[in-house]
């Protein structure tokens, strides 16, 4: 393995329902920093996939599309996660790596509504909202971030983790994509900053090579809501930095399924052909230097 990736680690932060077109207007220094060090680029939810959290997050963390994983809505019933598990479970079960997943949307983490999506990471955390309001979801995301900070500090052997932040999406559903929604995105960026700081504080950080991926699942209509086929709903995005990702160089034809594929590759694992992943690592394709979106500017 290349000396630059002798001790690879991966952090994936999923922020639900963040519109790409609004990011240039907002104060998101931590996301901007990731984009400058690597890339931030659009992802179009493919025509076969409903623009809903269940199918999109399942594709993101399994590396396969809806035809394989079988999740078509926000109930996960009928899934094939026994065949196509999430990356935290596959890494723990098949590759002997220590992993974690933490968040507050029940079907991702609990045996509810056909879940859990994250079946068996090494460590699993769930924070229940006290009520279904934007304010309660902000509290959840704060506690989720604190739990992730604790896990990153506690377990020096962690290899990969997934953190789910849901307040942005919930705010859009209740209040639309106006002032409060934009404030929620900025709050999510501050939590991203806390997670990056927790990584930097790890005792062994100087010897670790971290890949950081931030991803959203879908967009929103102006009035709030998704599930349709409008450009606002179908436009998602991925941002990433880490070994092998040059600043301003965007992988061509990004797809949600590429996230899990890149996690494996970043950890030095060649995906087994029997996994039949639909995604490919960001570094395994042609690149385009003209489409990295950082605070509304095009970098190349």
Sign of CA dihedral 84, 88, 90, 93: negative
Domain membership of residue 2 (yes or no) is: no
At 266 the three-state DSSP class reads helix
Domain membership of residue 119 (yes or no) is: yes
> In the prediction, which pLDDT does 5 show?
54
CATH classification at residue 159: 3.40.720.10
C-alpha–C-alpha distance, residues 67 and 224, integer Å: 28
> In the prediction, which pLDDT does 155 show?
85
Residue pair 131/108 in contact by the 8 Å Cβ criterion = no
Q: Of 104, 97, 92, 158, give the one whose Cα is nearest residue 132.
A: 104
- Omega cis (within 30) before 210: no
At 204 the three-state DSSP class reads coil
At 85 the three-state DSSP class reads coil
At 4 the three-state DSSP class reads helix
Range of the structural domain that residue 189 is part of: 7-299
CA separation, residue 219 to residues 203, 258, 293 (Å): 37, 18, 16
Domain membership of residue 222 (yes or no) is: yes
Domain membership of residue 133 (yes or no) is: yes
Domain membership of residue 159 (yes or no) is: yes
pLDDT in tens, the chain (300 residues): 343 458 999 999 999 999 999 999 999 999 999 999 999 999 999 999 999 999 999 999 999 999 999 999 999 999 999 999 999 999 999 999 999 999 999 999 999 999 999 999 999 999 999 999 999 999 999 999 999 999 999 888 999 999 999 999 999 999 999 999 999 999 999 999 999 999 999 999 999 999 999 999 999 999 999 999 999 999 999 999 999 999 999 998 899 999 999 999 999 999 999 999 999 999 876 665 545 555 444 333
> In the prediction, which pLDDT does 62 show?
98
C-alpha–C-alpha distance, residues 160 and 44, integer Å: 25
**What total number of domains does the chain contain?**
1
> In the prediction, which pLDDT does 287 show?
63
């Amino acid at each position: 393995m290349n000396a630059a990736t002798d001790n690879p680690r991966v952090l994936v932060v999923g922020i639900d329902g963040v519109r790409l077109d609004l990011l240039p207007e907002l104060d998101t220094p931590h996301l901007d920093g990731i984009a400058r060090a690597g890339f931030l680029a659009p992802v179009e939810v493919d025509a076969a996939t409903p623009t809903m959290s269940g199918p999109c997050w399942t594709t993101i963390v399994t590396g396969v599309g809806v035809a394989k994983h079988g999740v078509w809505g926000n109930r996960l019933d009928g899934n094939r996660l026994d065949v196509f598990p999430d990356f935290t479970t596959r890494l723990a079960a098949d590759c002997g790596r220590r992993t974690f997943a933490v968040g507050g949307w029940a079907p991702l983490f609990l045996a509810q509504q056909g879940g859990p999506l994250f079946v068996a990471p090494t460590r699993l955390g769930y924070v229940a909202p006290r009520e279904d309001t934007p304010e309660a979801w902000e509290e959840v995301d704060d506690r989720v971030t604190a739990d992730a900070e604790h896990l990153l500090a506690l377990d020096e052997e962690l290899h990969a983790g997934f953190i789910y932040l849901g307040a942005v999406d919930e705010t859009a559903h209740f209040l639309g994509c106006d002032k409060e929604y934009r404030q929620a995105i900025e709050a999510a960026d501050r939590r991203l900053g806390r997670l990056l700081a927790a990584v930097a504080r790890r005792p062994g950080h100087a010897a670790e090579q971290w890949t950081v991926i931030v991803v959203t699942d879908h967009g929103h209509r102006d009035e709030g809501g998704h599930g349709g086929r409008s450009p606002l709903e179908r436009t998602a995005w991925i941002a990433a930095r880490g070994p092998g990702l040059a600043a301003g160089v965007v992988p061509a034809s990004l797809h949600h399924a590429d996230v899990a594929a890149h996690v494996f590759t970043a950890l030095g694992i060649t995906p087994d052909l029997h996994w039949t992943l639909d995604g490919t690592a960001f570094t395994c394709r042609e690149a385009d230097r003209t489409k990295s979106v950082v605070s509304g500017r095009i970098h190349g």
